[in-house]
Amino acid sequence: MDSLVRYAENGIITHQMEALSHAEGISPEIIAERIAEGSIVIMQRDDRMTGIGAGLSTKINVNLGTSTGKVSVEDEIEKVRIAEMFGADTISDLSMGGDINAIRKAVFENSTLPITTVPVYPAAVENGLKEMTDDDIFATLRRHADEGVSSIVVHCVNRAMLESFRKNKRILGMVSKGGSITSAFMLINECENPFVERFDEVLSLCKKRDIVLSLGNTARSGCIHDCRDRMQLEELRQNIALAHRAHENGVQVIIEGCGGHIRSDRISKYVKQYKKQSPFPLFVAGPLPTDIAAGYDHIAGCVGGSMASTAGADYLCYITPAEHLGLPNPEAVKEGLIAFKIAAHIGDTVKYGKDAKDKKIAHIRATLDPKGQIVHALDPARAQAFSDEEDECTMCGEFCAIRIMRQY
Amino acid sequence: MDSLVRYAENGIITHQMEALSHAEGISPEIIAERIAEGSIVIMQRDDRMTGIGAGLSTKINVNLGTSTGKVSVEDEIEKVRIAEMFGADTISDLSMGGDINAIRKAVFENSTLPITTVPVYPAAVENGLKEMTDDDIFATLRRHADEGVSSIVVHCVNRAMLESFRKNKRILGMVSKGGSITSAFMLINECENPFVERFDEVLSLCKKRDIVLSLGNTARSGCIHDCRDRMQLEELRQNIALAHRAHENGVQVIIEGCGGHIRSDRISKYVKQYKKQSPFPLFVAGPLPTDIAAGYDHIAGCVGGSMASTAGADYLCYITPAEHLGLPNPEAVKEGLIAFKIAAHIGDTVKYGKDAKDKKIAHIRATLDPKGQIVHALDPARAQAFSDEEDECTMCGEFCAIRIMRQY
């Protein structure tokens, strides 16, 4: 089997492209063209195709997984269930605590969604950060590929960036976990980045199973005061160059960027700048336009995610209300996911004028049909709870503007 | 006693201006200048001064009150307590159900915040929509003024606008409750708008006690598909003209506009257009950039409110998660208020570069101090609940990026 990029380059429409065409209402020829130019990728899992990129609806990733501070397999399975039920497009299993291989297996068994992993996480846990070798990292990478992950994340921080980090004036230096583990590996072993050094091996692993390569965002800022700096620009430059190399080798690739903490007036600008420089789908974490919202970072993240998707971001990594405080519980996963469903949709209403769902709800409201609103709600049980179990909306009672205007 | 506008026009600095200067860190002379030009108003209640407008932090209004469908005085008192505790700037008592005069009294007794009412609501309830006369409306207006409200809302819809409404192609026609009651009055009595006809009386009532006149937004759209139309433009034109008339008569005035349901790419444009046409503070309800978020409209509203305040809106009316579904319970009021605290702050980080709170949290995070984060959270109890009662953040456990980078 050849890779989707190669088929697309040869003008061959595959069943994956057909399925995506059907789901998104775009012709398979256009999808093939965009895969060939790198602006669309398809994350595959069995019969499930999640397309990300130009002209496709904005997608949402749900991070889940244990940490060394908190392990509950039941919770993780419940998070998977919530991700499926409330409409996540992909899952990332970031487990680092407990029996991580068994947890990953449980995530696979309980989900139908494409799964992403960051192989350097389990490699560090299983081998120890100090003892881990680059062969250990690549063994984990290979294992995940064999297990059928749809996408893997690698952080391509280089030594020049680390030198910049050391000298920098950020309040919060490096806040990427994968980036910091990779950086620690480079500092402990006084070596260059193993993913960059052995990039051809990464590519051949990805190409073999058509795994989407996600180039991580080590240099994202950890507070809105930490602005775009030399590390961010250098990382973006390098990631775009690596993405071109991946794509030329027939590997589907996306770039993480414009995420983290960014003041709201800069979000749209950064996304648009990225889009001018790169054809590859943009994966954005958040972003958070303020640092004051601990406990409600899903709401701040919805604001940033709406701005990013409106400006052209293709794929959003959700943020839960537990962000900065602890590992999210299943309820926090649900709150985060729904907030980002709203953000993605707000983006799509502008990017593509996709307001059919809004129009449907507006017509339901025009008929004063509370049941219809609940059926079509993002979370029907919650919408029902606010409806007081009355037949009539209690918000305005008999002084309903719509009803009054109908009458007179 | 003369009105603040008159004092300001004569260059006299009053204690209200001094208090506002102290609260906002702007010189009292600048505040006086801006009150004189109409770009700042002060809502007063005893010793409490809430300044709204140019150069001042974005303020948030909490709507509360009963409806004919749901009456609980205890709930309303609890909502007042929540508004005070979580940092609302003003309260609007919109009660229409139960003993509304007693409820308003309870709202006064349990709060220190400036209170706004929409006198046409209780006038309609007490007299009946069909039986109510313009003298009844003005009697209610006078009563509220005598009781010490800080601001009143009147809807100045005119007959030409009603004619446009009849012909219009909106999915949801008129969704303003005060606007629809006023319109029904005009249609039933085949008359012009009593507030416009007797505008001098409105002004003299407001001026006597320096009540801020709020010109309501009858023509706001009820779904994102209903775009800016002739009614909205006509209302804006008329409201700006009436605001000038009010201001010339020594009355403090704000204009409600750019609220309701507006696609996200239009919000900033509308606010900026308003700011070019009018010096008066802009009061925005929401806006909601999507119609699909029933049950989570506080989150969609936070997105719209962030965009509006970033673009220059001065005063946001919050939206609760119960919007479109029912009368909000106290918990919904809390969720709505906190979402709009976030929106107002996001606006202020851009409008004024006010990021001191963000910077403080960033420094706390840099020291890995979970307790500090909780103390400074918008809702410490909720932040605490996500912290698993551990001394250490469980989000990343021992693989904390900040800690790893410190070590290596």
- CB-nearest to A294 from B359, B373, B397 is B373
* CA Rg value for chain A: 22
> pLDDT > 70: what percent of chain B?
99
* One-letter amino acid for residue A392 of the chain: E
pLDDT at A305: 98
CB-based contacts of A182, cutoff 8 Å, min separation 6: A120, A154, A155, A157, A193, A194, A195, A218
More reliable by pLDDT, A167 or B385 = B385
Which backbone phi and psi does A226 adopt, to 5 degrees? -80, 95
Which H/E stretch holds residue A181? Answer: helix A177-188
- pLDDT band for A1, please (50, 70, 90 cuts): low
Question: Per the CB < 8 Å rule, is B225 touching A355?
Answer: yes
Q: What is the pTM of this model?
A: 0.97
Which backbone phi and psi does A254 adopt, to 5 degrees? -130, 160
Confirm or reject contact between A272 and chain B (CB < 8 A): no
pLDDT at B64: 97
- Hey, what are B165's tokens? 């409404």
Question: Per the CB < 8 Å rule, is B401 touching A363?
Answer: no
> pLDDT > 70: what percent of chain A?
99
Q: Under DSSP, is residue A327 helix (H, G, I), strand (E, B) or coil?
A: coil
Helix A73-85 crosses helix A100-109 at what angle (to 10 degrees)? 30
Q: How far is A334 from chain B (nearest CA, A)?
A: 12
Q: How far is B47 from chain A (nearest CA, A)?
A: 29
Question: Per the CB < 8 Å rule, is A124 touching B370?
Answer: no
3-state helix/strand/coil string of B172-222: CCCCCHHHHHHHHHHHHCCCCCHHHHCHHHHHHHHHHHCCEEEECCCCCEC
- Hey, what are B218's tokens? 């009858």
pLDDT > 90? residue B257: yes
pLDDT at B364: 94
- pLDDT band for A404, please (50, 70, 90 cuts): confident
pLDDT > 80? residue B330: yes
> For B354-379, b where at least 16 C-beta lie within 10 A, e where not — what string?
ebebbeebbbbbbeeebeebbebbbb
pLDDT at B399: 83
Q: Which residue of A has its CA nearest to B353?
A: A263
Pairing mode, strands B48-53 and A253-256: unpaired
DSSP labels, A199-238: HHHHHHHHHHTTPEEEE--TT-BSSTTS-S-HHHHHHHHH
Lowest mean pLDDT among A80-94, A99-113, A388-402: A388-402
Task: Give the Cα separation of B289 and B223 in Å (integer).
Answer: 9
Cα–Cα distance list, A108 to A195, B24, B115 (Å)? 25, 54, 55
C-beta separation of A224 from A291 below 8 A: yes
* One-letter amino acid for residue B285 of the chain: A
Confirm or reject contact between B356 and chain A (CB < 8 A): no
Determine the distance from the C-alpha atom of residue A251 to the mean position of all C-alpha atoms in its chain, rounded to a whole number: 19
Task: Give the Cα separation of A70 and A63 in Å (integer).
Answer: 15
pLDDT > 70? residue B273: yes
Question: Per the CB < 8 Å rule, is A365 touching B172?
Answer: yes
Q: Under DSSP, is residue A58 helix (H, G, I), strand (E, B) or coil?
A: coil
- Hey, what are B63's tokens? 């709507």
Confirm or reject contact between B368 and chain A (CB < 8 A): no
pLDDT at B390: 63
Q: Which of B101, B91, B93 shows the shortest CA–CA distance to B125?
A: B101
pLDDT at A99: 96
DSSP helix, strand, coil percent of chain A (3-state; round to 5): 50, 10, 35
- Hey, what are A21's tokens? 């065409």
pLDDT in tens, A52-80: 999 999 999 999 999 988 899 999 999 99
The answer to whether the bond into B281 is cis (omega within 30° of 0) is no
C-beta separation of B98 from B74 below 8 A: no
Tell me how far apart the terminal alpha carbons of chain A are, to the nearest angstrom.
68
pLDDT at B38: 98
Question: Per the CB < 8 Å rule, is A395 touching B327?
Answer: yes
Q: Once rounded to an integer, what is the mean pLDDT over residues B321-332?
A: 96
Q: Which of B215, B220, B216, B130 shows the shortest CA–CA distance to B174?
A: B220
Q: How far is B100 from chain A (nearest CA, A)?
A: 14
Helix B134-147 crosses helix B199-209 at what angle (to 10 degrees)? 10
Q: How far is A239 from chain B (nearest CA, A)?
A: 21
- Residue B52, strand partner residues: B41
pLDDT in tens, B163-207: 888 888 899 989 999 999 999 999 999 999 999 999 999 999 999
Angle at A180 between CA A177 and CA A184, to 5 degrees: 140
Cα–Cα distance list, B1 to B7, B14, B42, B207 (Å)? 10, 11, 16, 10
- CB-nearest to B177 from A366, A370, A396 is A396
Q: Is the dihedral of CA B355, B356, B359, B365 positive or negative?
A: negative
pLDDT in tens, B115-140: 999 999 999 999 999 999 999 999 99
From its phi and psi, is residue B353 left (phi > 0), alpha (psi between -120 and 50) or beta? left
Q: Which residue of B has its CA nearest to A321?
A: B386
pLDDT > 70? residue A391: no
pLDDT in tens, B210-222: 999 999 999 999 9
Question: Per the CB < 8 Å rule, is A401 touching B174?
Answer: yes
Question: Per the CB < 8 Å rule, is B408 touching A310?
Answer: no
Task: Give the Cα separation of A110 and A185 in Å (integer).
Answer: 33
pLDDT in tens, A369-383: 878 999 999 999 999
Q: Is the dihedral of CA B339, B340, B344, B347 positive or negative?
A: positive
Confirm or reject contact between A387 and chain B (CB < 8 A): yes
- pLDDT band for A169, please (50, 70, 90 cuts): confident
In chain B, which residues have their Cβ closer than 8 Å to the Cβ of A398? 68-69
pLDDT in tens, A254-313: 999 999 999 999 999 999 999 999 999 999 999 999 999 999 999 999 999 999 999 999
pLDDT > 80? residue A340: yes
3-state helix/strand/coil string of B220-269: CECCCCCCCCHHHHHHHHHHHHHHHHHHHCCCCEEEECCCEECCHHHHHH
pLDDT at B168: 80
Which H/E stretch holds residue B112? Answer: none
Task: Give the Cα separation of B31 and B27 in Å (integer).
Answer: 7
pLDDT at B47: 87
Residue of A159, A171, A320, A325 to mutate for B, most B C-beta atoms under 10 A: A325
pLDDT in tens, A175-202: 999 999 999 999 999 999 999 999 999 9
CB-based contacts of A104, cutoff 8 Å, min separation 6: A93, A95, A117, A122, A147
pLDDT at B1: 63
- pLDDT band for A145, please (50, 70, 90 cuts): very high
Task: Give the Cα separation of A379 and A337 in Å (integer).
Answer: 11
- Residue B93, strand partner residues: B64
Question: Per the CB < 8 Å rule, is B179 touching A291?
Answer: no
Q: How far is A250 from chain B (nearest CA, A)?
A: 33
Task: Give the Cα separation of B88 and B334 in Å (integer).
Answer: 10
pLDDT in tens, A298-338: 999 999 999 999 999 999 999 999 999 999 999 999 999 99
Tell me how far apart the terminal alpha carbons of chain B are, to the nearest angstrom.
68
Count Cα atoms within 13 angstroms, Cβ side, for A259: 24
Confirm or reject contact between A326 and chain B (CB < 8 A): yes
For all residues of chain B together, what is the average pLDDT? 95
* One-letter amino acid for residue B315 of the chain: Y
pLDDT at A2: 86
Burial class (CB in 10 A: 0-12, 13-18, 19+), A366: middle
pLDDT at B391: 66
Task: Give the Cα separation of B161 and B218 in Å (integer).
Answer: 10
Q: Is the dihedral of CA A81, A86, A91, A96 positive or negative?
A: negative
A380: number of Cβ within 10 Å = 14
pLDDT > 80? residue B392: no
pLDDT at A125: 95
Q: Which of B79, B14, B73 shows the shortest CA–CA distance to B318?
A: B79
Q: Once rounded to an integer, what is the mean pLDDT over residues A129-151?
A: 97
* CA Rg value for chain B: 22
Pairing mode, strands A59-64 and A90-93: parallel
Q: Once rounded to an integer, what is the mean pLDDT over residues B218-245?
A: 95
Q: Which of A23, A8, A5 shows the shortest CA–CA distance to A210?
A: A5
Q: Under DSSP, is residue A395 helix (H, G, I), strand (E, B) or coil?
A: coil
Which H/E stretch holds residue A67? Answer: none
- pLDDT band for A390, please (50, 70, 90 cuts): low
Task: Give the Cα separation of B367 and B362 in Å (integer).
Answer: 9
